[in-house]
Amino acid sequence: MSGIGSGEGFWNPIVWTLLALGVLGLAYALWLQGRRTYKRGTEQEEPFLSGERLPEEGSHIRGEHLYWGFVAGLRPLIETLRAFHTGFIGDYIGWLVVVLGVAILVVML
Amino acid sequence: MSVVVRTIARIVLPVGLAFGAYVIMHGHLTPGGGFQGGAVVASLVALIVVTFGAERLVRAKTWFSVVEDLGALAFVALAFLGIGVTFFRNVLANSGGLFGASVPLGPNPGILNSAGTLPLMNWAVGFKVIAGLGAVVLLLALFGKGGEGEDG
Amino acid sequence: MVTHAPVLAIVIPLLGAFALPLWGKLRRELRDLWAIVVGVFTLVVALVVAVKVLGGGEVWVYTLGAASPAAAVVQGGFPIRIVLEVDALSAFMGVIALLAGIVGLVYTLQFLREEEGKTLAMSLYLLLWAGILGLVYTGDLFNFFVFFEITSIAACGLIGYRTWESRPPEAAFKTMVMYTLGGLLVLLAVGILYGEYDALNIAYISSKVTGGLLDRIALGLLLGGLLMKAGAVPAHMWAPDAYGEAPPSATILLVVNTQAAIYGLSRVVFTLFGGVLATPGVGWLIAAFGVLTIVVAALMALVQKDLGRLIAFGAVSQLGYMLLGLGVGAASLMTGAGFGQVALRGGIFHMINDAATVGLLFLLVGVVQRAAGTKELSRLGGLGHVLKAEGGLFLLGSLALAGIPPLNGFASKILIYESSFHLSPILAVLAILSSILLLAVVLRAFHSVFLGPKPSVLHVERTQWGTILAMGTLALVIVVFGLFPGFFVKHLVDPAVQALWAGRADYLAAVLGG
Amino acid sequence: MPFVVCMLLIAIGLFTLLVRRNLIKLVIGITIIENGVNLFLVSLGYVRNAVAPIYTYAPPGASRMVFPTPQALTLTAIVIGLATTALMLAFVVVIYRHQGTLDGGKIRELKG
């Protein structure tokens, strides 16, 4: 009913969900075993960002800065891809012709 | 446009209209039909736009869209006539009454009162094309005041 | 009326589209009522088709204009009339079109404003719906081209009807140029096949096809045109433009329109040229374009600055998964390897999952744009303070898009991963990596839109029941399909897979007899 | 022979699409390709020394008629082509009003 067979794999979301809940419960139980050093009203409640105290008016890392390092690492590839999306209609048509050519070539072989 | 053009246009208009109607009406007998005749009539819209200016026809825009929708609806409704048997079934053909005349074998000049639902569909398509193409010509001529150029 | 269900499923929305402007001229309430009536009738009729074909396992042939709907063949075994032929795959596509069409219609009724050209948008929407249903139900090659063009015209009208803005007409023009070229390629292929076999019926041509030079050219042209419409990189560039700029109420149907092209691709490869030209090379071609689409679109989504375009690239990437499943299936069709069937199951199951997931995200983009007045990620933020339920739905859709268990996206993707691994491990690895990348992408979108300090300018309107109903339905589909994939695979997807994998003979026999 | 002309038309159209930047010329290029394809379709039904496929006007003794189905197909394709051309031209008009240019290289608000 729930699972799907895929040849050799096994996927049953109900089992998975129960397992996930079990693991979460286990983690919670382990967490409860820990020492309780949390105190209200102390410095522990202050928000920090990379070890710096947050400015008064608050601060928000905007979405475009997420994964900055990852994107920076891939920059050559991504810049190539962005340059490839020129937005010029002639290029769109050109790539359609390329796809058509590849398709016909493969079919002919 | 000059007087010469306007006079000629006045003469051409009824002739063109009659020719378009002929092409639509004889669609099931001769080459032609709803689209071709409609295109002939719609070219008269272009003639009016060129000769007398698009402003003369601004108010016709609403009528064009209504007629276009009605033509499409009539076409689908005619196709629905055959739903007792199959969709698009030509139930009127060879049935006697309106457009129900049978065509004799061998060369003959053709019988206008034949072919069942086909002439009616030709008229529906004809009106749709007249209105649709006319609206397109008009809107492209008006260049901005309208803006939408839908066509079926 | 049941005997005429396949044709009614096409004609009712068509009739609705033509009559809707007339009702709109009378009264707006009448127009909305008419749209609801048309939607309900289409739903009923197409459900009849789906139940009979998917449940009964038969191929439903309906001949237009014949003395009886089943009389497709005249003397000499030669079908001359236009035939609608609904096998399990067509019926499955019909179910997707129904789900998306109804949800989008409900959303449109509430969401669009009168001054935004609501009448025109609804009319074009119904026309597009009719076109998609026709495209998946037809059994005639030339009609396939006609419905291809009807969907193109309606889709581009929908994308670009907001002529008072600068970007939608540009997107619509570019899409229209591409669609027209693709349509012409299809028409040329149809002409070649007609010249060779003097027929337009898919089943008849398929029974005669020899695999000669002209057949090969025709297959190449069909592949080119349909891959373009299916959004395969590098001919995908119209897709982010179109999805990003179309009104959010219509994007869900545009996505289904693209999936209909993938349906056409599978019909061409598996049925039309099934026993002859569906070589591993063709399968590899489709699979390679699929993987390229997945990777490039996911990378491009990472750097988008506009929420609509970001989700649009995510949607294109999902199309790549379907192409990958289809390609792996086609590559193993001639060898008969068992994993091909699994791949098809994954690819076809992914279609309905993708329609729900991407559809939900696009509907939410509309809500966000209405609330914040912009789609630019740099100017969005903190909407979670106000739009709590929408934020939750966005997170749900995002996770399903990225294929996180136990949601529906994972259920279909795991089938694709496992089967493509058998064909070539590289395909599977690239697909899995891109899925992780997509998770990063959609979480970034969620972060930028819903988290952060509360924005100062916000136009939150009262909750509209229609939009909530539409989005809730899709969310329900995502969760239910995710939790009980076995049931849906067995009853919805497997008949469609069998129709492709082993159903060619049945498809031919349904028209030609014997 | 007509097939050579069709392919030539299609090639000219494609060349136009790839080389020209003006949007109107793009539409013209598409129309040329369309005409090539339509010519191809209609020439499929041509039969040498045959009469026009009008049942009632066929002269006595004529044994062969031109195949009418491709003509119907071509007509449908022409109608569809007309609709797409009109729609594209309408979009061109709107784009020109917004961006003040017809140069495809400059109409690139959607990129990246």
Closest CA to D30 of A42, C256, C180: C180
Chain centroid, CA B107 distance in Å: 28
**pLDDT above 80 for B97:** no
Report yes or no: A3 at the C interface, CB cutoff 8 Å: yes
Residue of chain C minimizing CA distance to D81: C180
In-domain check, residue A40: no
Q: Which of C233, C345, C223 is nearest to C277 (CA)?
A: C223
What are the CA-CA distances from residue C229 to residues B97, C232, C234, C237, C238 (Å)?
A: 48, 8, 12, 11, 9
CB C473 within 8 A of CB C396: no
Residues of D within 8 A of A100 (CB-CB) are none
Confidence check: pLDDT of B150 > 70? no
Where is pLDDT greater, at D64 or C227?
Answer: C227
Please report the pLDDT score of residue C211 as a whole number.
82
State which residues of chain C have pLDDT below 70. Answer: 1, 72, 74-76, 457, 461-463, 514
A94: closest CA among D29, C100, C85? D29
- Asked if chain A contacts chain B via 3 or more Cβ pairs within 8 Å, the reply is no
Total domains, chain C: 1
- Residue of C35, C179, C181, C15 lying closest to C105 (CA atoms): C35
Alpha-carbon dihedral sign for residues D87, D91, D97, D103:
negative
CB-based contact C305:A64 (threshold 8 Å): yes
Query: Is D28 in the A-facing interface, judged by CB distances under 8 Å?
Result: no
Q: Do C139 and C201 touch, CB atoms closer than 8 A?
A: yes
Question: Using the beta-carbon criterion (under 8 Å), do A89 and C411 form an inter-chain contact?
Answer: no
- Residue A98 belongs to what domain range? 78-109
User: Mean pLDDT, to the nearest integer, of B94-112?
Assistant: 69
Closest-CA distance, C252 to chain A, in angstroms, reads: 23
Mean pLDDT of A66-93: 85
CA distance D107 to D103: 6
Q: What is the pLDDT of residues B39-59, one digit of tens each?
A: 888 888 888 888 887 777 777
Show the tokens assigned to C216: 């090969």
Length of chain D: 112
CA dihedral D69, D73, D74, D77 (to 10 degrees): 180
Question: 3-state DSSP call for residue C344?
Answer: helix
D53: pLDDT strictly greater than 50? yes
In a domain, A68, yes or no: no
CATH, domain D2-99, list 1.10.287.3510, 3.40.50.720, 1.20.1440.230, 3.40.190.10? 1.10.287.3510
Contact yes or no for C351/C299 (Cβ under 8 A): no
Q: Look at chain A and count its residues.
A: 109
What angle do the packed helices D69-99 and B34-52 form, to 10 degrees?
A: 30
| Residue D103 dihedral angles phi and psi, to the nearest 5° | -80, 115
Specify the pLDDT at position B43. Answer: 87
The answer to whether the beta carbons of residues A91 and C234 sit under 8 Å apart is no
The phi, psi pair for C86, rounded to 5°, reads -110, 110
Q: Both tokens of residue B40?
A: 């002939």
Residue among C176, C198, C300, C309 with most chain D CBs within 10 A, to mutate: C176
Considering only CB atoms, which chain A residues are within 8 Å of D26?
Answer: 89
| Average pLDDT over every residue of D85-103 | 88
- A91-96 long-range contacts (CB < 8 A, ≥24 apart) are A91/C237, A92/C174, A92/C177, A92/C178, A92/C235, A92/C237, A92/C238, A93/C177, A93/C178, A93/C181, A93/D17, A93/D18, A94/D18, A95/C234, A95/C235, A95/C237, A96/C178, A96/C181, A96/C182, A96/C224, A96/C228, A96/C235
| Alpha-carbon dihedral sign for residues B118, B119, B121, B125 | positive
How many angstroms separate the CA atoms of A71 and B55, rounded?
57
Give me the residue label for tokens 């939009």. Answer: C467
Rounded average pLDDT over D75-99:
89
- 3-state DSSP assignment of residue B59: coil
Distance of CA C313 to the CA centre of its chain: 15
What pLDDT does C374 receive? 84
CB C450 within 8 A of CB C394: yes
- Residue C340 located in a structural domain: yes
Interface of B with D in 47-66 (CB under 8 A): none
Domain-located, residue A60: no
* Helix residue spans in A1-109 (DSSP H): 13-32, 68-73, 75-84, 89-108
Instruction: Choose the closest CB to A107 out of C177, C185, C220.
Output: C220
User: pLDDT band at residue A2, thresholds of 50, 70 and 90?
Assistant: low
Q: What is the residue range of C361's domain? A: 279-483
pLDDT at B149: 44
Ordered by start, the domain boundaries in chain D are 2-99
Tokens representing residue C19 in the block: 């009559």
Written as six digits, the tokens of B115 are: 């072919």
pLDDT value, residue C358: 93
CB atoms within 10 A of CB C68: 11
The residues, ordered by sequence, that sit 6+ positions from C205 with a Cβ below 8 Å of its Cβ are C141, C193, C197, C199, C272
* pLDDT average, residue stretch A8-32: 88
Q: List C-alpha distances in Å: D47 to C240, C388, D53, D66.
A: 47, 70, 11, 5
**CB atoms near residue D103 (< 10 Å):** 12
Could you give the CA distance from residue C231 to residue C236 in angstroms, rounded to a whole number? 4
CA atoms of B132 and B139, how far apart (whole Å): 11
Asked if residue A73 is part of any domain, the answer here is: no
How many contacts (CB atoms, under 8 Å) link A and C? 165
Contact B86 C22 (CB under 8 A): no
How many Å lie between the alpha carbon of C308 and the closest alpha carbon of chain D? 12
Q: Which residues of C touch D105 (CB under 8 A)?
A: none
**pLDDT of A39 above 90:** no
D52 Cβ partners below 8 Å, 6+ apart? B31, D65, D66
Inter-chain residue contact B140 with D90, CB threshold 8 Å: yes
pLDDT in tens, B59-78: 777 888 888 888 888 888 88
Centre a 10 Å sphere on the Cβ of residue C175 and count the other Cβ atoms it contains.
27
Q: What pLDDT, on the 0 to 100 scale, is given for residue A57?
A: 64
Q: What is the largest CA-CA distance in chain C?
A: 75
Q: Do C120 and B79 touch (CB under 8 A)?
A: no
Backbone angles phi, psi at C377, to 5 degrees: -65, -30
Whole-angstrom CA distances from C384 to B7, B25, C448, C473 are 69, 64, 10, 21
CB pairs under 8 A between C and D: 89
The Cα of D95 is separated from the nearest Cα of chain B by a number of Å equal to 11
D23: contact with A, CB 8 A cutoff: yes
Question: Is the pLDDT confidence value at B145 over 70?
Answer: no
The C-alpha of D92 sits at a distance from chain B's nearest C-alpha, in angstroms, of: 10
**DSSP, residue by residue, C122-149:** HHHHHHHHHHHHHHHHB-BHHHHHHHHH
In this predicted model, which residue has the larger pLDDT, B152 or C148?
C148
What span, in angstroms and rounded, lies between the C-alpha atoms of C317 and C325? 13
pTM of this prediction? 0.92
Structure tokens that stand for C417 in this block: 């991963």
* Start-to-end C-alpha separation, chain A: 44
- Enter the tokens of residue C479: 């969760």
User: What letter represents residue B138's amino acid?
Assistant: L
pLDDT of residue B146: 45
Name residue C417's beta-bridge partners.
none
Prior bond to C406 cis, omega within 30?
Answer: yes
User: Quick check: is A93 in a domain?
Assistant: yes
Strands A4-6 and A9-11: antiparallel
**Among B135, B108, B103, which Cα is nearest to B119's?**
B103
Give B152's pLDDT tier (boundaries 50, 70, 90): very low
Rounded to whole angstroms, the Cα distance separating B55 from B37 reads 25
Question: How many domains does the structure of chain A reveal?
Answer: 2
User: Nearest-CA distance from D26 to chain B in Å?
Assistant: 18
Write the ipTM: 0.89
Q: How far is B78 from chain C (nearest CA, A)?
A: 12
Helix, strand and coil percent figures for chain B, each rounded to 5: 65, 0, 35
**Phi, psi torsion values for A3, nearest 5 degrees:** -80, 165
Q: What is the mean pLDDT of residues A69-81?
A: 85
Handedness of CA B124, B130, B133, B135 (dihedral sign): negative
| C453-to-A64, C279, C382, C438, C445 alpha-carbon distances in Å | 16, 56, 5, 25, 16
The upper half-sphere exposure of residue A53, i.e. CA atoms within 13 Å in the direction of its Cβ, equals 6
Burial class (CB in 10 A: 0-12, 13-18, 19+), C171: buried
* Cα(C38)–Cα(C341) distance, integer angstroms: 37
Q: Which residue of A has its CA nearest to C450?
A: A63
Q: Which uninterrupted H or E stretch holds C448?
A: helix C425-450
Does D4 reach chain A within 8 Å, measured CB to CB?
no
In a domain, C474, yes or no: yes
What are the tens digits of pLDDT across the range B14-36?
998 898 888 888 877 777 788 88
Q: Between chains, do D84 and C245 touch, taking CB under 8 Å as contact?
A: no
User: What is the structure's pLDDT at C201?
Assistant: 87
